Structure 1
């Protein structure tokens, strides 16, 4: 694959160059100036004592505290009900883009309804789906709703729209299935009776230890085996659910304004403790979930995504959880120095998990009511009037610690909903193995990432079968550049992954790249964009190409799916006709 970049010095990073960055052996230690300073954005909902949105607040009515220190509000905006913006221009033929301006119907405030079939029993799914249909029949022109489902895979049933008929039709094509994972993760039930059968020990020497009753030993073995199986499925559900949350966060990260995720489920297989620990150590038996939970926390915070957990079980009694502990079997976080979970039987109440998810992200938790319809409606109402506050933190230490955000408003009796804080993570490139793992996960993700704007133009040369021409345009506004030694320096990670119909990566081409721009080249990039061109040979069995671009400094990613058949087949037909 040959890369060209508007005649500018876009350098593939060879093994000899990997240690020669700004702080490498050939770099200097001078101060770094970023093009885009770290701006912290907070989406805020304000309601009065009656629960109604407060619409008439200005910048001076808000005070933002970062770890208790007041911050200067640099950006202030108010979003209210309005039609979605029209695209600036239609995409040309054979062009694919994840940029918002090319997607009609992407509004400034959105609500995603996630029907979680992975963590919900069949009967609860049926009831929740019926409630969602009732809600969709009542949506208003200003409601911008998307439908996602989580089961065997995370699927987008319908992207954002105010068209109730289209949403209902998409939901009608979705078949509810029994969650075998929930059933399999239920712990074994205790026996109702045990018959003690002691083997004949007539020949045993005097003073020997009594034998263990056969049936008691067998019962214990069967229960331990069933418990290990249940723990396996609980861990599997937790990992798949965390991956889904991270994928949704990446998908919505570049959508402006309020972003609500209404998560309809009857169990939540983990606990996220926003800001409870700097370095989390999360266990389930012998399996640590700290890395996965920390990544999900970071993705949710970076996307400024508010979660609205809705208990699909509806109204349950105070003892409803006792016979079905699977709904309470959670992966939990602990503070450093605290005892680890006491074995795999540690239970975390589902409602506590819901409250933590909601409080940490600026959402609400809904449980103990059969009014799922009303819960969804309340979440959508929160998107009607939202305030966006952004500030440059006065502190300059990015040590990975959690910074608590508190927003105050000068209005008596007002209640504020906003995310709890953010992780002050230093921006630095990943090592080769971590970088490859992140790119691979992005290639296999069911959703597109939109934090980095990417547009791809595709062409086929009829004289060369199975070879396609690609031009990748990357939005320079999303790329973080640093000024050092008279140059603007940045890094990009690119992956071109060819996938089968089953979603397996058949071949991947990964290319780390370094930008070193003069002042004139930097201005040219900002004005004309960053363009990379080359040719790629399609392998047998590949049905689609996943193009992924990642800012190596900030971690922002953009991805696009491109069907290969129209281009490969056209070239093959042309070659066969000669």
Structure 2
């Protein structure tokens, strides 16, 4: 436990010492910050005419907003460009921060995500070539873009930059690889309706053996599908943690061949085997069909809670996903036409139909992902690079509307949103709803697991913001001073008009290959009277930690968790 008097005295000194680097944000108007305890809902709206041209002169009075069919009062209105902060501010030597103002500049903020988990090697290589053409020929100066990759986890290929050469160099050096344990195509549904009822016992035994082999293969496919879901969900959570603290709408240009789920698990796209499993039929379903359908359905529903939470986190972070089909123009018949052995009648009635159905299913899931986040899907087009350009073109047409829902019960259910405008000829695009989830009220929370996941991110998490100074300490240790922005954490009201903060601080040394070599942690669980808390709000919350350095080229990763809101901020400091 840290004594309040000591905490405040040091905080004031550090705040004064750091005035030259802007230790605390300037007073005045600020963009809205999502606070879970206030239940502010932000909705980004893209307004265009019927030709796709941006409409930039709408006012708050031009919009009406409804939640679950009931009108809501618009409390916050930001027109296009109003949240630009200008050039990124500088930091003094040895000072680091995850505050957005130290890394952002004017213009749209976008992440180009190259997904190899849900994409074949051939399609990933094609998408990479298309992205190289986009950066070389269509990337406009001033656009802030980062390049992430998704394989066994989310990785940063190039952090946010406005320099097209840095983006191009990163793509040149990136060589997609065939994924280990890549999910195989779903086995074809057995055509039992056309089975010959007069077959002998030997054929029946052979069929039974083949069905059991297929059931085993289905179990393998289900495991691989489950891994795809887990990796994709983890990537969405990482994106939300990284981008949530940056004001305004963020675009994620997700280059992929499909998603293993939609963001509303109750209204998901299902595979042929799931459909065959659920529909009544006169013929007895094959063992392979029943196993595959049951496992696929159970796998997806087994992640329903995680899917809802990921959807809520993306919505709170104001992230719009733009799925870009890495396959380009595709019908599902390509493999059949390339493989002469697959051109027989049985293959055309089973294998080809399954592939066509799979293409249709994955494309619809992409559309659904875009609709639920306010983005737009770019599918069945050979020029994949055009999809990225179109997504970035939405920035000048983006408005932010904010409201406090009349329904104060944050019970985790899905709430639909509808936005209209009184002006004729205006087309609006926005996310269709959100899950009313309060992360601080979730049962079975695992704070240590959440911190471990946040520390593994290769970019700073921005929900809790802070400054950090790293310098040699006593007895050969590494000294770390952490000054947390009080406006980025949540205080609990307690008896007597007092306020309570509950924060946990972590400092960990990571090797170049991502292995944790050592760590320290400490907790502030403190109640403040009104006068003292006012000083905390003014000067911030400071603590000091010492950690043993490790030999080698390592990183120091710092994390701060607000236990009241379950929000986390992290920072990565390279150690020389």
**So what's the TM-score if we normalise by structure 2?**
0.78
In structure 2, the partner of 1:526 is: 537
Q: Secondary structure at the match of 2:171?
A: helix
- Indicate the residue corresponding to 1:87 in structure 2: 88
SS at match of 2:419: strand
Over 3 Å counting, the alpha-carbon distance change for 1:266 and 1:414 in structure 2 is same
Q: Whole-Å Cα distance in 1 between the matches of residues 546 and 408 of structure 2? A: 43
Counterpart CA distance in 2 for 1:458 and 1:326 is 55
1:267 aligns with 2:266: no
What is the rounded CA distance, in whole Å, between the counterparts of 1:404 and 1:300 in structure 2? 16
Corresponding residue for 1:249? Answer: 240
Matched, 1:231 2:241: no
SS of residue paired to 1:350: helix
1:64 maps to 65
Shift of 1:160: 2.6
Deviation at 1:320, TM superposition (A): 5.7
Query: 1:171-229: CA deviations, max 9, x gaps?
Result: 111112223444x422457999xxxxxxxxxxxxxxxx967766545534433332222
- Residue in 2 aligned with 1:537? 548
How far did 1:114 drift?
0.9
CA distance in 2, matches of 1:266, 1:257: 28
C-alpha distance 283-392 of structure 1, shift in aligned 2 (>3 A)? farther
1:460 paired residue number? 472
Point out where structure 2 has 5 or more consecutive residues left out of the alignment: 10-34, 192-199, 269-293, 336-350
Distance in 1, matches of 2:309 and 2:51, equals 37
Q: Please say if 1:406 is aligned against 2:418.
A: yes
Which residue matches 1:101? 101
**Cα RMSD over matched residues?**
3.3
User: Could you tell me whether the CA contact under 8 Å between 1:480 and 1:551 is conserved in 2?
Assistant: yes
Match of 1:472 among 465, 479, 482: 482
Contact 1:119/1:179 (8 A) holds in 2: no
Alignment of 1:557-576 (within 5 A): 557-564=568-575, 566=576
| 1:132 matches 2:131 | yes
Partner of 1:120: 119
1:29-79 CA distance string (max 9 Å, x none) = xxxxx9973322111110111111111111111111122222222221222
In the alignment, the residues of structure 2 paired with residue 489 and residue 35 of structure 1 have an alpha-carbon distance, to the nearest angstrom, of 16
Structure 1 residues 6, 316: closer, same or farther in 2, change over 3 A? Answer: farther
Contact 1:402 1:422 in 2 (8 A): yes
Shift of 1:150: 1.3
Contact kept, 8 Å, 1:77 with 1:389, in 2: the verdict is: yes
Quick check: 1:480–1:554 contact (8 Å CA) kept in 2?
yes
Instruction: Quote how far apart the aligned CAs of 1:268 are.
Output: 1.6
Instruction: Could you tell me which runs of 5 or more consecutive residues in structure 1 were left unpaired when the two chains were aligned.
Output: 11-33, 193-208, 330-346, 567-578
Quote the offset at 1:252 in angstroms.
0.9
The aligned residue for residue 562 of structure 2 is 551
- Offset, 1:350: 0.6
Counterpart residue number, 2:184: 185
Contact 1:269 1:328 in 2 (8 A): no
- Offset of residue 428 of structure 1: 3.3
Aligned residue number for residue 18 of structure 2: none
| C-alpha displacement of 1:430 | 6.4
Matches within 5 A, 1:308-319: 308-317=322-331
Number of residue equivalences? 500
Q: Which whole-Å CA distance do the structure 1 matches of 2:180 and 2:369 have between them? A: 25
Which whole-Å deviations, capped at 9, do the CAs of 1:380-423 have from their partners, x for residues lacking one?
10012311111222332222222222111121121111122233
